[in-house]
Chain A
């Protein structure tokens, strides 16, 4: 990524170089980025997909159906409260 002497790269290229060189010079940051990516993978590719479906979006196709379902819940007697 070295530049020729006297040659000023474009703004876009300078921004890209800024990030690339910044990431290259990271020390502890490399470990942190690995942790971030592993964490995001677990969250979005495993937990969200297999354990945290959006109930109303998976059970119903339209907002009308969702509204009907929630309104049914609101007009039914409540189960026992507990603290």
Chain B
């Protein structure tokens, strides 16, 4: 793989960010999801007074603690990378995200320092009510701590509620509500948290299935499976419906991303949704090659997903690159012209300000304001550069959707055989169940690949491409830290897996 990588600074910085974010997302979904499971387990214990539920709660709490400890602060490295590799971007968005991220970090720290301690140390030392309240607060705090970073990501995909200040070269928050409650942000938060819950449900099912296969801790395993499967069904159905809402949102604000992850080059009315396909990697947006070597489509479904109707037009990559006057679509080629006008006006404005020519400055500022929404396109060298990597987007999207469709059925099967009382005899299901956690992780990672690869070349959609967002560093500098991270993260992952496996092997404490 590495020998095929483009050895430029931007691509190394992208690779490093992807490595860090994907590693971080190995821990986050489990933390986000399992805290809610713990809250339910703990509640059942307090309601019933049954010591088996207490034992069960303490066991899953311990595994959560291991995951949290190894994963904590891995996200901070992303912030390091902003300042070092993406300094222009970091400067430009500092006004929007700096303070809220800092406030969120402080609140999360105090919530965690207080309620984590009570949750872990509080058995028989604080009242049952306060102890349970603390467990619920840990769940709420963990989820809240993900809010602003997901809002920030959503804003980069769909920038709203900001104005660009040409004097400071910064985006400044114009409307907090527009930024925090944009439909894109709400969808992203709900999708990320609900998918995290189903990943956590699979974590519990994987380990419990292993116990059942080994004939160990049978009661605990079966009880854990019931709660996890019920939570999992709700979470997975919610994730599927919310995913559909996200796709609709993408079709409206990032049509190029939708076209890329569907491999749709030519826009269509009544477009079908690809069920399966082998992408032609040599296909270019300007040629007439077939985009697929092989494909199966569900008729009409892409149009339905993108526009909530059967008879509307879904633009393809060609329409979005070269424009389509019939459907009133402005292409990247036309946007590039306006973007270059915006850059020229910005430059002229700065020169006029330096010369203290306020009249001239006002004229150029007015010209800049007319074209500023296309600013990012002015940095492209060719309109085809607006097309993201199609094959990677396509495969990631279809892996995510296929797994997401499969998940509710897995949970249903577990509940069905549990109700029939034959789960322990279903070795095939239990064997498959042991790997479901990894399927949940793969689906989550694929989802982020769709979100981030699919929006290339933009750091901020339409406004700032990665080539301008980056710092002027050499590729070698970023390569060095890339390998340091690779080593460090691998060591941490090995530590987590070995500690986790040891604790799973030991199982819950007796009495």
Contact A81 to B480, CB < 8 A, known contacts A70-B91, A75-B343: no
Chain B residues near A81 (CB, 8 Å)? 379-382, 385, 457, 465, 467
**Any chain A CB within 8 A of the CB of B167?**
yes
Within 8 A of A (CB), among B57-95: 62, 65-66, 69-70, 72-73, 76-77, 80-81, 83-84, 87-88, 90-92
**Contact partner of B346 among A32, A47, A75, A79, CB < 8 A?**
A75
- Give A31's nearest chain B residue, CB to CB: B499
Q: Does B456 lie at the interface of the complex (its beta carbon under 8 Å from any beta carbon of A)?
A: yes
Q: Is the CB of B83 within 8 A of A71?
A: no
Given A32-B66, A56-B87, A81-B465 in contact, is the A43-B73 Cβ separation under 8 Å?
A: yes
B21 beta carbon closer than 8 Å to chain A: no
Q: Is the Cβ of B80 less than 8 Å from the Cβ of A48?
A: yes
Q: Would A28 and B381 count as touching, CB distance under 8 A?
A: no
Which size class do A's interface residues fall under? 35 or more
A19 to chain B, nearest CB (A): 6
When distances are taken between beta carbons in the complex, the residues of chain B under 8 Å from A52 are: 80-81, 83-84, 481
Assembled-state Cα–Cα distance A80/B385 (Å): 10
* Residues of chain A in range 9-55 having any CB-CB distance to chain B below 8 Å: 18-19, 21-22, 25, 28-29, 31-33, 35-36, 39-40, 42-43, 47-48, 51-55
CB distance A67 to B66 under 8 Å?
A: no
Residue of A nearest to B506 (CB): A28
Contact check, A70 vs B92: say whether CB atoms are below 8 A apart: yes
Report chain A residues within 8 Å CB of B503.
Answer: 28
Q: Does B168 contact A (CB under 8 A)?
A: yes
B419 within 8 A of A: no
Check if B169 sits within 8 Å of A70, measured CB to CB: yes
Partner of B457 from the list A66, A70, A83 (CB cut-off 8 Å) is: A83
Q: Report B172 CB to chain A, min CB distance, Å.
A: 12
CA A36 – CA B167 in complex, angstroms?
42
Whether a CB of chain B sits under 8 angstroms from the CB of A57 is: yes
Interface flag for A4 (CB, 8 Å): no
Contact assessment for B8 and A82 in the assembled complex, using a CB-CB cutoff below 8 Å: yes
Q: CA–CA, A55 to B472, complex, Å?
A: 9
Assess whether A22 is in contact with B91, with CB atoms less than 8 Å apart.
no
- Is B330 part of the binding interface, using a Cβ–Cβ cutoff of 8 Å? no
The CA of A29 and the CA of B121, in the complex, are separated in Å by 11
Q: Does A73 interact with chain B (Cβ within 8 Å)?
A: yes
With A74-B343, A78-B468, A81-B467 given, is the CB distance from A53 to B380 under 8 Å?
Answer: no
A40 touches B73 (CB 8 A): yes
Chain B window 366-394, contacts with chain A (Cβ cutoff 8 Å), 1 for yes, 0 for no: 00000000000001111001011100000
Considering the chains assembled together, what is the distance between the CA atoms of A75 and B91 in angstroms?
15
Q: Which applies to chain A's interface (DSSP): helix, strand, loop or mixed?
A: helix
A78: contacting residue among B8, B69, B380, B495, CB under 8 A: B380
Q: Are A67 and B167 in contact (CB-based, < 8 A)?
A: yes
Please measure, in the bound complex, the distance between the C-alpha atom of A36 and the C-alpha atom of B66, giving whole angstroms: 10
The CA-CA distance from A28 to B59 in the complex, in Å, is: 12
- With contacts A78-B379, A81-B457 taken as known, whether A66 is within 8 angstroms of B465 at the C-beta atoms is no
Question: A39 near B471 (CB under 8 angstroms)?
Answer: no
Contacts of A39 in B (CB 8 A): 73, 492
Q: Is B42 engaged at the interface, CB distance under 8 Å to the other chain?
A: no
Chain A residues near B90 (CB-CB < 8 A): 54, 56
Interface hits, B20-72 → A, CB 8 Å: 62, 65-66, 69-70, 72
Contact A67 B84 (CB under 8 A): no
The smallest C-beta distance from B337 to any residue of chain A, in angstroms, reads 15
Interfacial chain A residues near B456, Cβ < 8 Å: 83
Q: How far is the CA of A43 from the CA of B347 in the complex (A)?
A: 39
Q: If the complex has contacts A29-B65, A32-B65, A75-B347, are A67 and B467 also in contact, measured as CB distance less than 8 A?
A: no
Interface membership of B105, Cβ < 8 A: no
Find out whether the CB atom of A51 lies under 8 angstroms from the CB atom of B69: no
Identify which of B72, B170, B467 contacts A79 (C-beta below 8 A).
B467
Check A19 against B120 for contact (C-beta < 8 Å).
Answer: no
Q: B245 → chain A, closest Cβ, in Å?
A: 28
**Which residues of chain A are within 8 angstroms of B128 by Cβ–Cβ distance?**
none
Q: Given the complex of chains A and B, what is the CA–CA distance between A81 and B458 in angstroms? A: 11
Residues of the B chain whose Cβ atoms lie less than 8 Å from the Cβ of A32? 65-66, 69-70, 499
8 intermolecular pairs with C-beta atoms under 8 Å apart: A18-B117, A21-B121, A43-B77, A52-B81, A55-B83, A67-B169, A73-B88, A81-B382
What are the 8 A-B residue pairs with the smallest beta carbon separation, nearest first? A22-B121, A54-B83, A78-B379, A32-B69, A52-B80, A55-B87, A75-B347, A81-B385
Supply 8 further A-B pairs (C-beta < 8 A) apart from A22-B121, A25-B121: A18-B117, A28-B65, A31-B499, A51-B480, A54-B90, A55-B84, A78-B467, A82-B10
